[in-house]
């Protein structure tokens, strides 16, 4: 069992490089899985995890995240998606992200005449409200699939549910998310 | 105002969901969730079976009542 988050954060604040080792010991596996789900490459995933830990080293302090695991997961996911975009800039397709994008298209409402905006804050707030109202198991499924990029088989193994049940629950979640986003005035 | 987004933008926005949701997925007791679902399914099956039995009894009773009348 690794150190608790508070102690690891103290190491970051004391500029003790053991902070990176301890964070990796405690969260490395989880971060690696997220990066690997997105990139489908052990080497790239390992690199993204190391990049994420270095970025955390640069941002803590001044930041002192309340949930270190979630903080590191977000950096790793961001790094991995950027790497995925770079890798696929010339050649589209491949990997779990392509599947995730295909699925999420269903959740993005359409409209005839709209103003194109990239308003992340409002969209994130709408997603948070939607998730807060969702059933706990469905919410966990959503996070595993669309945050961590976990495969349907992986979710099925974790939750001990059959794959068809997972697929149908995710399908309903996407439909409801689309309706919720439309209600909030967010559209494709 | 209507905001227009793409699936990629939506995927990026999911990155900023509440930390709580991430921790919930990470620390969830998956065995307990599976157990709870199993109990719920068994309960639903039992309630369904009782319902079907009740309907059958009602039909049999109605038939007998009609016969004896």
Give yes or no for a contact between A15 and A60, defined as CB atoms under 8 angstroms apart.
no
> Is residue A20 very low, low, confident or very high in pLDDT (cuts 50, 70, 90)?
very high
Cα-Cα end-to-end distance for chain A: 45
For B13-60, what is each residue's pLDDT tens digit? Answer: 888 889 899 988 888 777 777 777 788 888 888 999 999 999 999 999
Tokens 């088989």 sit at which residue? A153
ipTM for the predicted complex comes to 0.75
Chain A CB contacts of B35 under 8 Å are none
For A113-130, what is each residue's pLDDT tens digit? Answer: 344 445 678 888 888 999
Q: Do B18 and A146 touch (CB under 8 A)?
A: no
CA–CA dist A165, A52 (Å, integer): 34
Distance to chain B for A16, nearest Cα, Å: 25
CA–CA dist A10, A23 (Å, integer): 12
Q: Higher confidence at residue A63 or residue A106?
A: A63
Whether A86 and chain B come into contact, CB under 8 Å, resolves to: no
Domain positions in chain B: 7-68
Residues whose CB falls within 8 Å of the CB of residue A31, separated by 6 or more in sequence, listed in order? A49, A52, A72, A73, A76
| Beta strand B3-4 pairing with A186-187 | parallel
Whether A112 and chain B come into contact, CB under 8 Å, resolves to: no
Q: Do B15 and A78 touch (CB under 8 A)?
A: yes
Question: Tell me, what's the pLDDT at A93?
Answer: 55
- Search chain A and give the residue with CA nearest B27: A140
Chain B CB contacts of A100 under 8 Å are 11
CA distances from B39 to B26, B31, B46, B49 (A): 23, 12, 10, 15
pTM assigned to the model: 0.73
SS3 B3: strand
Q: What is the mean pLDDT of residues A80-98?
A: 74
Q: Higher confidence at residue A24 or residue A104?
A: A24
Distance to chain B for A103, nearest Cα, Å: 9
Q: Do A188 and B19 touch (CB under 8 A)?
A: no
CA–CA dist B55, A152 (Å, integer): 40
Q: Do A108 and B28 touch (CB under 8 A)?
A: no
Whether A154 and chain B come into contact, CB under 8 Å, resolves to: no
Chain A CB contacts of B24 under 8 Å are 136, 139-140, 143
Q: Is A61 left (phi over 0), alpha (psi -120 to 50) or beta?
A: beta
Q: What is the CA radius of gyration of chain B?
A: 26
Tokens 């959503």 sit at which residue? A142
Closest CB to A131 among B17, B30, B31: B17
Question: Which domains, and CATH codes, for chain A?
Answer: 5-87 (1.10.1740), 96-183 (1.10.10.10)
CA–chain centroid gap for A32, Å, is 12
CB atoms within 10 A of CB B43: 10
């Amino acid at each position: 069992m690794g150190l608790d988050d508070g102690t690891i954060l103290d190491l970051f604040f004391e500029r003790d490089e053991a902070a990176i080792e301890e964070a990796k010991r405690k969260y490395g596996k989880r971060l690696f899985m997220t990066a690997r789900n997105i990139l489908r490459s052990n080497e790239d995933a390992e690199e993204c995890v190391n990049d994420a830990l270095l970025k955390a080293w640069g941002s803590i302090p001044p930041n002192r995240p309340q949930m270190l695991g979630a903080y590191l997961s977000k950096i790793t996911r961001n790094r991995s998606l950027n790497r995925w975009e770079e890798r696929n800039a010339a050649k589209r397709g491949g990997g779990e992200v392509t599947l995730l994008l295909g699925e999420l298209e269903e959740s993005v409402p359409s409209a005839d005449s709209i103003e194109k905006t990239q308003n992340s804050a409002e969209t994130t707030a709408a997603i948070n409200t939607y998730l807060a109202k969702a059933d706990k198991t469905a919410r966990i499924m959503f996070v595993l699939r669309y945050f961590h990029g976990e495969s349907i088989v992986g979710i099925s193994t974790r939750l001990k549910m059959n794959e068809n049940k997972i697929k149908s629950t995710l399908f309903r979640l996407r439909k409801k998310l689309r309706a919720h986003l439309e209600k909030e005035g967010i559209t494709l | 105002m209507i905001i227009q987004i793409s699936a990629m933008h939506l995927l990026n926005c999911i990155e900023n969901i509440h930390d709580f949701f991430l921790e919930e997925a990470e620390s969830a007791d998956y065995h307990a969730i599976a157990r709870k679902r199993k109990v719920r399914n068994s309960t639903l099956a039992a309630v369904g079976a009782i319902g079907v039995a009740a309907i059958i009894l009602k039909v049999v009773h109605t038939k007998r009542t009609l016969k004896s009348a």
